Structure 1
Amino acid sequence: MSRTVIDLDDKLVAKAKRLTHLTKKVDLVNHALAELVHSHERLRIFELQGKVQWEGDLDAMRSHRR
């Protein structure tokens, strides 16, 4: 882990602390970075729309859930 000095918006930090119930700024920043990465990774899935050939049977897959 590296040490970095950054300026943070105090109002934004306070609001984020209330929303996440995290009390330490380092935990808050790490949580925010993890959420950002996760969000962008999910969005990359949409880039595959129309580019992937799928030959499964969705109805058959759903019937196994019941």
Structure 2
Amino acid sequence: MATNLAIDPELLDRALRVSGESTKKAAVTLALEEFIARREQRRILDLVGAVDWDESFDYKSERSR
């Protein structure tokens, strides 16, 4: 799917330099993948403390099924 985007040329040059990618497409693809991964990780971190931990739960016994 071809998409035309107006991307700041200086920003794109920096992305190419920092990423080590040889093409603009590869640099943008990598940047999008990393952006998505970071946002997904942030959502996981938002769950920290959201679950009550049962101190009496014996997780080792569950391993020996």
TM-score by length of 1: 0.72
Aligned partner of residue 13 in structure 2, secondary structure: helix
CA distance in 2, matches of 1:6, 1:44: 28
Question: CA RMSD, aligned part only?
Answer: 1.5
* Structure 1: segments with no counterpart, 5+ residues: 57-66
Give aligned-pair identity as a percent.
Answer: 31
1:12-35 deviation digits (Å, cap 9, x = unpaired) = 111111111112111111111101
In structure 2, the partner of 1:32 is 31
In structure 2, the partner of 1:47 is 46
CA distance in 2, matches of 1:54, 1:16: 42
Aligned partner of residue 30 in structure 2, secondary structure: helix
In structure 2, the partner of 1:61 is none
TM-score by length of 2: 0.73
Deviation for aligned residue 1:43: 0.3
Please tell me whether Structure 1 or Structure 2 has the larger radius of gyration of its CA atoms: 2
